[in-house]
Amino acid sequence: MNGERETVLAGPRRFAGEWLAAGGKSVVPIIAPSGLDDAVLDRLRAGARSAGADEVLRCALEPGSVPVRLTVDSALAPEELPVLFVLPDLSGALLASGEGYVLAAGTREFLLGVTLAGVDYARDAFEEEAQRWAGQYPGLPAVAAEYSPVVRAWATRSEVPADSCMARMLAVMESFVRGELSGPEFAKAWGTAWRLSIEGGERVRPPFARVLHEVFYLLEDYPIDPALREPGDPTDEELVAGVHEALRRLAS
């Protein structure tokens, strides 16, 4: 193995524990039934940019092979498997073995670009997809079990801890429909609780998550400053109706 592979890998399908421990790196499995296709490479590009890298090293796993330095924007293309991509500063890597999945590993910055929604969300998604593809790739459920979420997502409102930011989001929604908050007050308070919930690693599963995302998208179009209102923007009445319906669906 060359230096990068020796540092990053402990074998053809596993990252080295020492490398993962340095900087608190994590591993995320990603379903890839088509191998290292453009969708997976787009995740690698996003991870590299998120980590501040504009180049990656492509490392074949054959003994004696030499890493090839590629630009993130123009030189990535589907490769023969197995193959390892590594950021030049070794803060992130992507390992593709051609068994229906790839493994991405690295720092929080790298994985934020790869996953968009965080490590546990990505592991939850892999668990669900692994079941769908298990007939074609029987090893996927074992991979899902090895890289299971650290914190399980809440499936219903009753599971949400009272001291969580998610509980605060729900309480703000109830206050708003009771008329205790104005539209702008609700938008600011709910948005703050949403951001803190994400930063704190709080997660919910569908259909709970879908309802909350609908409130998020409703607020994206809602003008907090009435002077900025445009035709088609939600009115206060429409916002109240939307939040009321969200609470009804969450209760059911």
For residue 2, the model assigns a pLDDT of: 58
31-77 per-position pLDDT tens digit: 999 888 889 999 999 999 999 999 999 998 887 788 999 999 876 77
Residue 12 banded pLDDT, cuts 50, 70, 90: confident
Return residue ranges of the chain for CATH 1.20.120: 157-251
Residue with tokens 């039934």: 33
197 pLDDT exceeds 60? Answer: yes
For residue 75, the model assigns a pLDDT of: 64
Burial class (CB in 10 A: 0-12, 13-18, 19+), 84: buried
Nearest-angstrom CA–CA distance, 17 and 3: 16
Nearest-angstrom CA–CA distance, 106 and 164: 28
Residue 191 banded pLDDT, cuts 50, 70, 90: very high
Look at the domain 157-251 and name its fold: Four Helix Bundle (Hemerythrin (Met), subunit A) (1.20.120)
Mean pLDDT of the region 143-150: 90
For residue 78, the model assigns a pLDDT of: 66
For residue 118, the model assigns a pLDDT of: 78
Mean pLDDT of the region 213-237: 88
86-135 per-position pLDDT tens digit: 999 999 999 998 899 999 999 999 999 998 777 888 898 898 899 999 99
For residue 61, the model assigns a pLDDT of: 86
Burial class (CB in 10 A: 0-12, 13-18, 19+), 69: exposed
Mean pLDDT taken over the chain: 90
Nearest-angstrom CA–CA distance, 223 and 204: 27
Q: Which of 83, 104, 101, 103 lies closest to 140, judged by CA?
A: 101
Within 8 A by CB and 6+ apart from 88, the residues are: 53, 55, 56, 57, 69
Residue 1 banded pLDDT, cuts 50, 70, 90: very low
